[in-house]
Homo-oligomer: A and B are copies of this chain.
Amino acid sequence: MAAAPAVTTVFGALSDPTRLAIVERLLTEGEHSAGEIAAPFAISKPAISKHLRVLEEAGLIERRVARQWRVCRIRPEAIQVVDDWMQQYRRFWEGSFDRLEKLLAAREGEESDNGRPDK
């Protein structure tokens, strides 16, 4: 059982536009070889190869050898890690929208804000 990657590691892997585009393509189109993945990009093959390694080490993709190709596919478990994080904090950030509205509304009426931070 591959241990679930840390959410910061997954975030880091998805923070590069090239890697995000690779992930999006594998998500929507399924498996692709390294060469197919590299094709749309202006950067070199070795650069793509290193991005694939980062994605693999973050648990976002896995590779298998098929004839002369190394084929990549998404590991949805890693994306689940992000979804779990969102889920864990959802009520807080969804609540923030409401609190923000309330705060702005309150600011309209009274102006008795001592400005001291919480705690």
Q: Is the CB of B82 within 8 A of A86?
A: yes
Considering the complex, give the chain B residue whose CB is closest to the CB of A89: B27
Which B residues touch A74, using CB under 8 A?
93, 96
A57 in the interface (beta carbon within 8 A):
no
Contact A93 to B27, CB < 8 A, known contacts A66-B116, A66-B117, A116-B66: yes
Interface residues on A, range: 35 or more
Given contacts A36-B118, A74-B96, 16 further A-B contacts (CB under 8 A): A8-B15, A8-B17, A11-B12, A11-B14, A12-B12, A24-B89, A28-B89, A30-B118, A32-B118, A66-B113, A66-B115, A66-B117, A69-B117, A76-B93, A76-B100, A86-B86
Q: Is the CB of A96 within 8 A of B76?
A: yes
A119 in the interface (beta carbon within 8 A):
yes
**Interface residues of A, Cβ cutoff 8 Å to B:** 7-9, 11-12, 14-17, 20, 24, 27-33, 36, 66-67, 69, 71, 73-74, 76, 79-80, 82-83, 86, 89-90, 92-94, 96-97, 99-100, 113-119
